[in-house]
Structure formats: C-alpha cells, structure tokens
Structure 1
Amino acid sequence: MPALLSVRRNGGGTPAVVRLLVIATFVVILNETIMINAIPRLMHDLHVTERAAQWVSTSFMLTMAAVIPVTGWFLQRVTTRRAYALAMGVFLAGTALSAVAPSFAVLLVGRIIQAGGTAVMMPLLMTTLMTVVPDRDRGRVMGNVTLAISVAPAMGPVLSGLVLQIGSWRWLFVLVLPIAGAVTWFGLRRLENIGEPETGSIDWFSVVFAALGFGSLVYGLSRFEAGTVATPVLITLAGVALIGLFVARQLWLQRNGTPLLDLRILRSRTYSMALVLMAVAFLAMLGSMMLLPLYLQNLRGLSPLETGLLVMPGGLAMGLLGPVIGRLFDRFGGRILVIPGAIGITAALAGFTQISVTMPYWQLLALHILLMLSLAAAFTPVFTLALGALPEDLYSHGSSMLGTLQQVAAALGTALVVTVMASRTSALQATGIDALTAQLDGMRLAFVVSTALSLVVIVTAILLPNRSGAPGGNGDSEHPEPELAKV
C-alpha cells in the first residue's frame, strides 16, 4: 500500500487527503440544516401543508439513518477515490434535482438523493483519518474535523435566512451546486487511494433489515411531534424489532459469512462507553437545539434569521475550539477534557431550566456558548478514543455505528423534549393557566429532563480511560485494550 505509507511518512500537518475530505464533508453537512427556515416558503410556493413541508428535513434524516449502517461494509470494498466520487456525484445530482424541482414530490426525491451522498462522507472522512494519521496526531486532526461538523449545521439556518431575505428557496441549492462541483473536481484531482479494497458479496437481508429498522425507528421517533402517540409508538417498536433481526443476522454472519456491520466493535470497553456517552450527549444536545428556537421564536418573538444569528456564535466557538482541544488531547489525553466538558454540558442545560420571557439575551448567548464549548471539549476526545480503541480493519464499521447513532439520538432527543413539553403544556392549560405560561413551563421541564440525562454523560466521562490503547496501536494507554477476539 504505497499511497498509505507515503501519507503516513509525511507527518507534520494534516494529510492532504483528510483536508480534502473535511472540506467536502463541510459542504454536504451544511445542507442538513439549510432548509429549516424555508418551510413557510415551500408551503406557499408548492401548496403543501406545514406537516408535509417538514419532510424536506425529516426525509434527509431518515435517509441518513437508513444508509449509514451500510457504509461500514461499502467503504471496505471500494477505493477512497471511488467512494468519494460516488458520494459527491450522488450529492450533486440530488442538489441539481432539488434546485429545479417542479413539485414538492420531486423536491423530496432530490433531498433523499442528497442525503444518500452525505451519509457516505462522514464515515469516509473518519475512516480515512484513523487510517492515515498516527496516534500522536489524531487529536489535533480530529479537532479540525470538529470544526467542519459543528460549524456547518450552525451556519445552515443563518445562511438560509440571509438567502431567503433576497431570493427564492431554490437559490439554497443553486448556490451550493457550483461550490460542491468545484470541491468534487478538485478532490478527484488530488485525492489518493488509501489502502486496498477487500472482496466480498453483500447480504441483502441485512441491508433490508438495516434500512427498514433504523429508518422506522427514526421516523417513529420524529412523528411524536405531530401530537399523536399510538402510531409513532407502533412504528418505533416495529423499528426496534427489525433492528433486533439485523443484529441477530450480523451475529450469524460473523460466524458464517461477512457481516454488513461488524458488531465486534462493541467488544471494546472504551468504544462501547464512548458510544453511550456520545448517544446521551447528542440526545441532550439535539433536544436543547430543538427547544431554544421554539423559545426564541414563539415566546420572545424573534425571526428565524435573528434566532440563527443568536445561536451562531456557539456553533462557531465550538468549531474554532476544536483544533485547540485536539492538541490538548494529543498532549494530555482525554480525561482532562472530557470530564470538565461533561460537567459544562450539565451546567449549561441546568441554566436553561431558568428561562423566562424577560431573561436577558446575553445570558442565553452565554449559556449556549458554554454548551457548545463543553460539547467540543467532550466530542473531539471521545471520537478519537472510540475509534482509536478499534483495530484498523474495524475503523469503517466503528465510524458507521457512530454515524447511525447520531441520527437515532437526534430523533430520540427531539421526540423526548417535544413530548415532555407538549404533555406539560396541555396539562397546565387544562387547569386554566394561560397558553404562554403553560408553554414556558413545559419548556423548562423539558430542559430539566435534558439536564438529568446529561448526568449520565458525567458518569461515563469519569469511567473513560485517558487514552484508548488500540489493539496493535502505539498509544500510551494507562489501561490498554485487550485484543478483540476473532469470530
């Protein structure tokens, strides 16, 4: 593998292949949140209801949840350049279709195609990073990745708000198209293949179980916000049952074939604990990110653009701190960052439980920045610890599991806070309390639930080792991981 060896020998700065993938990932992830402010325009221009218009975001999340579990198998069987070309090509096709969509149905198809390309990029970036970057530099490089994956979602609503002030929602895709095209062209000119692809057939039963299982789970959880309970519960339970079949199928394939998602990754104690921490942290974070815009727009009267501008500094601070966090991790290990980060997450969420209609905006800004900085202090080391605890041949599967979990946690966090808030609001209104007071109290209770969940993050952070000490790696772990058993 001469390309791989040459990349590793270069040392020093971030490898060119990782820089290219970070830029591409930034572009595609930006589109996950760019349509949030466009819902009213879509309702008017395409003559659809608000619930239908929400599908431009829901379909993106569902597709990500259904496709990401397949990426672990896929990335082991194609070259880096082919995976990149396919992901960006699919993304470009979806973007172009969305820009010219004559109807809402066509726009929805375009968004699904976009998400299919996006789903491949994040695992591709993580897998490549872990393969070409030596242990001693992974924190620093992962910090640069944090900049991309945290700033992009924060910038989406702000940029869309600015574009919608002066133009049609179609410009949200038209403006992205040449940028994504240039990134794709430049990447294909400079990108090197990393490692050698493996051979092996795909198990289509696993693909079906994964797509239907994770898709149903995310869809069921996302439907709780519609105000009904019975149907979302049934869909969610069906998703859980199908995921159970998927897991059983993978365990059987580990003995009798090639699994779509290699569950041996869960035998690593460090990876499993990091997975729990990431899931709960994402759940709490996404719940709060759902509540804050509702509070600012419904109770404080801010416009979507003003709301985006208020929360943008937190996302920017999280991204800009990422490289610093990475360097600190390389030098001191994870515990000095993850434990204070976990405490900061809890403190910020606890502060949001005190929201009122007169709370100064500077306090809201300070709490949001604290939350984002704390998440940066936790996420960069935890990503690195989790994947660093795995053997190299399981990096793609570990990245796939992390990406899938993010989508499930996002849906679960949203469903949880919306259900808690709506139930509390309805109960208070039934007793005669005015709607504004009832909704504010419902939001406070939802933040209390998020705060309680974040305590799990603190406990898990304390249990994580300082360094991962991957099997066959050259880390200096205080508690080295045992060799993962072969199945």
Structure 2
Amino acid sequence: MASTFTVLLNEMMLGVALPTLITDLGITPTTGQWLTTGYLLTLAVLIPATGFVMRRWHLRTIFLGAMSLFTVGTAIAAVAPGFGVLFAGRIIQAAGTAVFLPLLMTTAMRLVPVARRGAVMAIVTAVPAVAPAVGPALSGVVLSALSWRWLFILMLPVAVLALGLGALKLRNITTPEPVTLDVLSLVLSAVGFGALLYGLASIGESVSGHAPVAPYVPIAVGLAGIAAFVLRQVTLQRSSNALLDMRVFRSRSFTLALLVMLVIAMIGFGSLIVLPLILTSVLGLSTLSLGLFLVPGGAAISLVSALGGRVYDRVGPRPLAIPGALVWTASLWFLSTVDEDTAVGTALVAYLVMSASQALMWAPMTTTALAGLRADLYPHGTAAFTTIQQLAGAAGGAVLISAYTIGSDAAGAGTLTLAQAESAGQAAFVTAAVIGLGAVVGTLFVGRSSVPAEATAPDLT
C-alpha cells in the first residue's frame, strides 16, 4: 500500500504544474495535458497484462522490477531538458506503476477475511483516490519555492527507499504458473487504447485548428482495436492463456459497478487537471495557494473512505453510493458557476463536497465489483477494473481539457482573458456534470447485498 501510494502520487502531480510548464516549455494546455493523459494511457495499455504478470512471476520479483522502472523514469524526468524527454520519463514511470494497483487489490482480496473485507478494501481503494488528490496539493507547495524539476528530485529518495524496503521485507505468497504472453493481445491493447485516447485528446486541438488529423479517425481505429482485443481474449480464454479473461464480465455486479466507476474515474481524474487552471486563471490563486487549497481534498477522501468501509460491511453499497452520486453531481454543477465573484472559501467547500461524495462511491463500487468474482478470477478482475479506471481517467482528462479549450473560444488556450477563462471553466464542469449523471443512474441498479462472491456468485466457467 505504501509503495502503491508513492507511485500513484505522480499521476496528477503535474496538473498544478501545467501553468508553469506552459510558460517554461512553451507548450499549450492541450500538449501539456499529455504529461498526465499519456501517463494514464500507458497504464491503461499495460494494465491488461498485469493478470498475466501476476500469474507468471513471484510477488517479490514483480515488485522489484516495477519499482526499478519507476525509479529510472523519475530520474529521467528530473533531468529532462525539454518536453520530449520529460514525456519519456513519465511514460517509463507509468510502465513501472502499472502493476502496483492490481497487485495490491488482488493481494488484499486473497489475504483479508470476508468479515473485514469492506473496511480493509476501503483503505486499499483510498490509495488510488487519495494519492492523485494529494499529488496536486504537494505539487503546489513545492512549486511555490522550487522549479518543477523538484517534483521528481524529491520523489527519487522515496522511490529508492521503497525499493530497498521491498527487497528486504517482501515475501512471496503465490505460486507462479507456466503461462505464456500473447504478443498480439498486447499489440491490440496498445493500438486500441492508444488510438482511442489520442483521438479524444485531439478534440480540443481540432477545434483550435492544430490537430494533424481529424479526431474521429483515431477514435474509430481505437474502437476497432479494442473490439479485436476482446475477440482475441475470448478465443484465448478457452485455453486459459488470455491476457485478460473476459469471463469476469459475466458477473452482473462486477460489470455494473465497473460502469459506475468508469464515470467516477473519468470525472474524478479529469477535474483534477482542469480545476487548477480555473483556480489560477479565474480566482487568481498563486501556486502556493493552489497547493494549500487542494490539501484538504485528500484528507476528506481518507476520512470518508475509512468510515464508508465500516458502513459497507453492515449495510452494503447502496446507502453509500446513491447519496454519494447525487451530491457529487450537484457539486460538479456548482463548480460550473465559478467566476471572479466566487469566494475562495465557497469554491473550497464545493471541492471538499466533491471529494467526499466521490469517496462515498469509490470504495463500495470497487469492493462490490471484486466480491462478485471467484477467487481464481481476482487477477483478471483487478486488471480489468484498473484498466477501465485508468482509461477512464485518461479519457476524462482529454475530454475535460477539450471542453475547456472549446469553451474558451480562443485560438490557443495558453493565455486567456478572464472572460475566456470563466467560459472555459463553465464548459468543462458542465460537461463533467452531464457525464456525472451516469453515476447517479448506475448506482440505482447496484445490488443491495454486501455478501461476498464465495456465497452468491454463479459458476463463471
């Protein structure tokens, strides 16, 4: 959990740094958001293979290899002379990060007693929710006194410490299986998810006239690639060699909870990219003020997740998820009204309500999804769940930045007038609220029971 928190802290850390990077590197917001979107996209491409990785190698081997990659990527980003090398460092970081969350979730589901699953999974699932929320806050504090390079320089000793502790303390709890990697599946995954996210990220560039190709072309290629990937997995799962076993989607509770989480992750991650731009350009917050503004969000998520996990074990997901979805969507609508006359305190309350209500849904949906599977499908279930979550996060960043760019009605959204910034923020959060309505609808159909899969799930073979 500690190492997963460390690597996921980097996901959204550059969101606050985006205004600084736009100036220092001479890039646009649409280009700059690829430092976050590309990170999430790499996770979405590689995470489908984590089911294979967790079956093929020991826990200790996986951890050491992944943390080594993350450390190397952090070092490259720290010394990057420009956008290209910085982007490459981020991609290497993401390659190391990809396995951590599925590995953590699978390990927790295997080791935690059923009676305490809700409480422990609330802590486990708080990691991917809290870390990206804390990242922007930490980033703002660092950038108030140091350059953006220190975001990576300060992370290096933490990564090295985690690597050393893992080498000393980790013990293997699984038995490797003689499975083989299907290279075609990995290629189809990369083409499908990569093209889809590129197309979504190009929408804003297309409107401003800077996109090299029309966005619908890569979107169509991406959808075709994903369809081919799914068909390939259906064929391979007959011999138990699928990169991602599609039988997990036969569980209604898994699939429904996954769809709700797709919406939550999409808007949750996307809003953390757009919100710093609005707070700086509309409310005039400095980098330090921005970092301090975002700090309470992580605390709210931690507190609500811990309390919600205890409630989940007694009452199930619906009493948490339905009110959470309603309040969350309302907070998104409110944030779409932020203008120069909005008090910073009012915006802070709205942000805290958004963070807390999101946490009310995150842990129940994750636990409900995995509890709907048999134990032998946990590696594939966590891989599928995390893939969709990261893909949705990348898509959310691309969609909301595109809405921000379109709403600004400017040729290049790098430097906006106050009126343009207000219009851009309104467009981004109206888009977020409309998409957020999907979570409200989805939670209405989530099952009432918190009984684990071992007692209720049908045979999925």
2:413 maps to: none
Tell me, in whole angstroms, the C-alpha distance in 2 between the residues paired with 1:407 and 1:70: 14
Give 1:256 shift: 4.7
Q: Is residue 263 of structure 1 aligned with residue 246 of structure 2?
A: yes
Q: Which runs of 5 or more residues in structure 2 are unaligned?
A: 411-415
Q: Is residue 68 of structure 1 aligned with residue 44 of structure 2?
A: no
Aligned to 1:365, which of 335, 348, 356? 348
Tell me, in whole angstroms, the C-alpha distance in 2 between the residues paired with 1:287 and 1:55: 12
Give 1:273 shift: 0.3
Aligned to 1:305, which of 288, 297, 304? 288
State the aligned residue count. 451
Say whether the 8 Å CA contact 1:146–1:319 is kept in structure 2. no
Tell me, in whole angstroms, the C-alpha distance in 2 between the residues paired with 1:113 and 1:179: 17
Give 1:297 shift: 1.6
2:458 maps to: 482
TM-score for the superposition, normalised by structure 1: 0.86
Alignment of 1:214-229 (within 5 A): 214-226=193-205, 227-228=208-209
Q: Which runs of 5 or more residues in structure 1 are unaligned?
A: 1-21, 428-433, 475-479
Q: Is residue 127 of structure 1 aligned with residue 106 of structure 2?
A: yes
Q: Is residue 202 of structure 1 aligned with residue 181 of structure 2?
A: yes
Aligned to 1:244, which of 227, 231, 235? 227
Cα distance change of structure 1 residues 424 and 63 upon mapping to structure 2, 3 Å threshold: closer
Say whether the 8 Å CA contact 1:142–1:323 is kept in structure 2. no
Query: Structure 2 counterpart of 1:408, which letter?
Result: L
Query: Structure 2 counterpart of 1:167, which letter?
Result: L
Q: Is residue 78 of structure 1 aligned with residue 61 of structure 2?
A: no
Say whether the 8 Å CA contact 1:391–1:470 is kept in structure 2. no
Tell me, in whole angstroms, the C-alpha distance in 1 between the residues paired with 2:35 and 2:428: 26
> Taking every aligned residue pair, what percent have the same amino acid on both sides?
40
Cα distance change of structure 1 residues 310 and 217 upon mapping to structure 2, 3 Å threshold: same
Aligned to 1:443, which of 393, 400, 425? 425
Q: Is residue 234 of structure 1 aligned with residue 217 of structure 2?
A: yes
**Range with greater deviation from structure 2 (383-392 or 399-408):** 399-408
Give 1:219 shift: 2.3
Tell me, in whole angstroms, the C-alpha distance in 2 between the residues paired with 1:336 and 1:262: 31
Q: Is residue 49 of structure 1 aligned with residue 40 of structure 2?
A: no
Q: Deviations over 1:274-319 (max 9, x none)?
A: 0110011222333433442232222222223322322321222112
Query: Structure 2 counterpart of 1:234, which letter?
Result: V
Tell me, in whole angstroms, the C-alpha distance in 1 between the residues paired with 2:434 and 2:31: 33
Q: Is residue 391 of structure 1 aligned with residue 369 of structure 2?
A: no
Aligned to 1:89, which of 65, 68, 71? 68
Query: Structure 2 counterpart of 1:69, which letter?
Result: P
Q: Is residue 463 of structure 1 aligned with residue 445 of structure 2?
A: yes
Q: Deviations over 1:201-221 (max 9, x none)?
A: 111110100112112222222
Q: Deviations over 1:245-273 (max 9, x none)?
A: 10111111123551100000100000000
Give 1:468 shift: 5.0
Say whether the 8 Å CA contact 1:65–1:218 is kept in structure 2. no
Aligned to 1:253, which of 227, 236, 257? 236
Cα distance change of structure 1 residues 49 and 337 upon mapping to structure 2, 3 Å threshold: closer
1:153 maps to: 132
**Range with greater deviation from structure 2 (452-461 or 235-244):** 452-461
Alignment of 1:399-414 (within 5 A): 399-414=382-397
SS of the equivalent of 1:281 reads: helix
Tell me, in whole angstroms, the C-alpha distance in 1 between the residues paired with 2:364 and 2:339: 34
Query: Structure 2 counterpart of 1:286, which letter?
Result: F
Give 1:130 shift: 0.8
TM-score for the superposition, normalised by structure 2: 0.90
Alignment of 1:161-176 (within 5 A): 161-176=140-155
Aligned Cα root-mean-square deviation (Å): 2.5
Specify which structure has the bigger relative contact order, considering alpha-carbon pairs within 8 angstroms and separated by 6 or more residues. 2
2:3 maps to: 24
Q: Deviations over 1:350-381 (max 9, x none)?
A: 32233232122222111111111111111111
Tell me, in whole angstroms, the C-alpha distance in 1 between the residues paired with 2:26 and 2:428: 30
Tell me, in whole angstroms, the C-alpha distance in 2 between the residues paired with 1:425 and 1:43: 16
Say whether the 8 Å CA contact 2:331–2:354 is kept in structure 1. yes
Query: Structure 2 counterpart of 1:449, which letter?
Result: T
1:454 maps to: 436
Tell me, in whole angstroms, the C-alpha distance in 2 between the residues paired with 1:216 and 1:149: 25
